[in-house]
Chains A and B, each alone.
Chain A
Amino acid sequence: MIARRGGALALICLISGFVAGCGETPSPTPAIVAPAISSDQLVGKWGFAAYHKDEDRTRTIKEASAQCNRPYVIAKGPTGGVMMNLADQKELSELILKAGPNGQTYLGPAGAPGPDDRIVTNVDANSFTTVWVDPENASRYGTSVYVRCGKR
């Protein structure tokens, strides 16, 4: 469902790009791209790094790759979600992918989009990016990047 929705949005963006210049102007802010994504894509071992200033994104991605000696491990959850930490929570929770406002993909506890969620962006086979919905968490943790340890 989400994958279909994300794919449709990507297609709309692609088509409208020829007309209205979707993504035509490079922005210092990473583009928020609604990903076509499934829980399975998040499962695995990830180099995990964060930044607050957009100019640090490129080197942070490199640093994330370098952190595979102590990876962040995402396992499949018992009901089809993924097991990850919420902000400041040592224990893992099962999180699900869900549709957020403006076509964004949210990752968080089951239920309506809320402050415990994070927005998932810039997904490809070997990396994804998240930002907390809660402004305070977003301010504290910045933008998180996950780079797969061992390419698919």
Chain B
Amino acid sequence: MTVRVGLLVRLALGAALAAFAGAGAGAATPGQDEMNVVDQPGYQPSPEEEQLTGAYEKQEVFFRTTEAPGTIIIDTKGRFLYLVQGNNRALRYGIGVGREGFTWSGLQKIARKQEWPDWRPPPEMIERQPYLPRFMAGGPGNPLGARAMYLGGTVYRIHGTNQPQTIGHAVSSGCFRLVNDDVIDLYDRVPVGTKVIIRQAVAL
């Protein structure tokens, strides 16, 4: 009866595409990893589920850029968020991104930060899952996870998730999601006003 992680439907779209150069083992290629995921409000993943491994685990990496330290660069194709450290280094986090048709690029700033954000499912989600509350107060199990950083005046956010299995996949409606430990770590490192660059691909 209940929709569970095991019921996630992976849409295998297209043949294997060339791996994203420099993205590292396990990095995604668009179209291959799109997931049709039903939100699971209230679901609280275990610590084991939240522990990422491989390329999507938070790590310091070589990263050549002219952007100033403290800048966030999001690579939607590679499913990575980079926090520039300087000296050709960056902290890299694995992320979930927008599904096909929901990806975007641009330049934004973090306009607001929120701990344990409330969740308001968008209308199309209510249509698909009419049993969902139209508002869920923030807290463990909330689909927006532990932290949210709002991008300019857009409807998009960098936020946590209670579905760690979606990291590395195209799953959202255009937001960028990290596992809760990572989004808390990032939240503590970046102030309001932080420059955020969203790119389809990042040349290292």
- Interface, chain A (partner B; CB < 8 A): 47-53, 56, 59-60, 63-64, 66-67, 70, 72, 85-90, 136-137, 139-142, 144
Contact = CB atoms under 8 A, between A and B. Distances in A.
B131 A50 contact: no
Contacts of B135: 48-50, 60, 63-64, 66-67
A87 B136 CA distance: 15
B134 A47 contact: yes
A139 B134 contact: no
Contacts, number: 79
A152 B41 CA distance: 31
A52 B136 CA distance: 8
Interface stretch (B53-61, B122-130, B180-188): B122-130
A90 B2 contact: no
Given A85-B131, A88-B131, A90-B131, A59 B137 contact: yes
A90 B42 contact: no
B42 A139 contact: yes
A56 B139 contact: yes
Contact of A88 (B3, B44, B118, B141): B3
A141 B2 contact: no
Contacts of A63: 118, 135, 137
Contacts of A59: 137
B40 interface: yes
A60 B126 CA distance: 18
18 contacts: A47-B134, A51-B139, A52-B139, A52-B140, A53-B137, A60-B137, A64-B134, A86-B1, A87-B131, A90-B128, A90-B129, A137-B2, A139-B42, A139-B44, A140-B41, A140-B42, A142-B141, A144-B133
Contacts of B123: 70
B1 A51 contact: no
B20 interface: no
Interface in B34-83: 40-44
B141 A140 contact: yes
Given A67-B134, A88-B1, A140 B43 contact: yes
A49 B44 contact: no
A152 to B, nearest CB: 21
Contact of B42 (A47, A56, A72, A141): A141
